[in-house]
Amino acid sequence: MFTNTIRSALRARVVPTPRIANVMRSPMIRSFPNQVRLYSDHHEETFEEFTARYEQEFEEAYDLFEVQRILNNCFSYDLVPAPIVIEKALQACRRVNDYPTAVRTFEALRHKVETNQQYEAYLEELKDIRQELGIDLKEDLYADEA
């Protein structure tokens, strides 16, 4: 008896309701047709603003993670940071007592600049802070590999 009920339900003709068919045929109407997304519409930071912002961030860095995070963000831009920013980064490395990050900062700077002359200019500009903090370069530490 149960099987007969199932058979009759399966054999029954399915009639589509016109209401569903009309909904499927009608075009979708946008709720906001004039909406435009402006993802790139934002304030562009000047080099001076960039320098001032990162100087402030390095002065406020309180632990090694913060110093490394700020360095990573600073070097991820498509520009070479100003010498004062590198100086503040080195002072922050000293404040959190992390010598390897200070050495790697110069290594990152070497990869970031376009020519060796630019790198030498940065080294000349930062010579006093390097001597004050006692930071050696990777080239000095591993002279045989260079």
Distances (CA, A) of 22 to 27, 82, 89: 10, 65, 66
Map out the domains of the chain with their CATH numbers: 47-142 (1.25.40.40)
Sign of CA dihedral 106, 119, 109, 82: positive
Classify 14 in phi/psi space as left (phi over 0), alpha (psi -120 to 50) or beta: beta
> What's the pLDDT tens digit per position in 28-70?
555 655 666 666 666 788 999 999 999 999 999 999 999 999 9
Q: Higher confidence at residue 25 or residue 115?
A: 115
Evaluate whether 82 touches 51 at the Cβ level (below 8 Å). yes
- Whose tokens are 């390095």? That residue is 58
pTM of the model: 0.69
